[in-house]
Chains A and B, each alone.
Chain A
Amino acid sequence: DVKVTQSSRYLVKRTGEKVFLECVQDMDHENMFWYRQDPGLGLRLIYFSYDVKMKEKGDIPEGYSVSREKKERFSLILESASTNQTSMYLCASSSIGQGARYEQYFGPGTRLTVT
């Protein structure tokens, strides 16, 4: 069974704290993605990674960074959390196969509240 797991379902942090969101996939996928999901705004891509130690900015990278030291793990880092980063964060992965590269498998999400 395909699995993408995220370290926390719910997280409450204070403004200015450094926040780590972890994502692990067990499908040996090359591609991994971090999105934020907000009502009325849909899914917006924060960062993605095609390979270990590779990262590319998405549409809204400001205030975020990422780390991919191992193929199965992709971490999202909020260097100094702010209230406008309160959101649902979704991690996804996909293979690079011709027919499968656009089928992204999603984790359950982490609902982050910054107070």
Chain B
Amino acid sequence: AQRVTQPEKLLSVFKGAPVELKCNYSYSGSPELFWYVQYSRQRLQLLLRHISRESIKGFTADLNKGETSFHLKKPFAQEEDSAMYYCALSVGSQGNLIFGKGTKLSVKP
């Protein structure tokens, strides 16, 4: 079965602390994974995709096929990182995504 699991509903850290948002997936094919972010009162938007191997706003995510994980990491959290984060898995060839249930990140001053 195709599935994306984000085990934490809420993650609270202090400014400057490292942050890791967990994402695990279940997919029989070759996965493409993404992180989407929704800041307060803003639209949901793409943050990064594993295939690009890029760092956006200091965030990185590495695909670990052995552990079927795609955790999002940032070494030093900022208050402006507070948002809802969704991990997403591509399914099929047309552009469909399966989203996890989301993790709300709260960065305290």
Contacts and interface: CB of A to CB of B under 8 A. Distances in A.
Given A43-B99, A44-B99, A90-B44, 12 more contacts: A31-B95, A35-B99, A43-B44, A94-B95, A101-B95, A102-B32, A102-B95, A103-B49, A104-B97, A105-B45, A106-B45, A108-B43
Interface in B80-109: 86, 88, 90, 94-102
B45 A96 contact: no
Contacts of B86: 42-43
A96 B96 contact: no
A108 B86 CA distance: 16
B95 A42 contact: no
A101 B46 CA distance: 12
A101 B97 CA distance: 10
B65 interface: no
Interface in B1-36: 6, 9, 32, 34
Given A106-B43, A107-B43, A45 B96 contact: yes
Interface residues of A, number: 25
Contacts of A44: 99
A104 B46 contact: yes
Interface of A is mostly: strand
A48 interface: yes
B37 to A, nearest CB: 11
Interface string A85-115: 0000010101010000111111111000000
Contacts of A96: 94-95
Given A40-B9, A42-B99, A43-B86, A31 B46 contact: no
A64 interface: no
Contact of B94 (A50, A90, A108): A50
B43 A102 contact: no
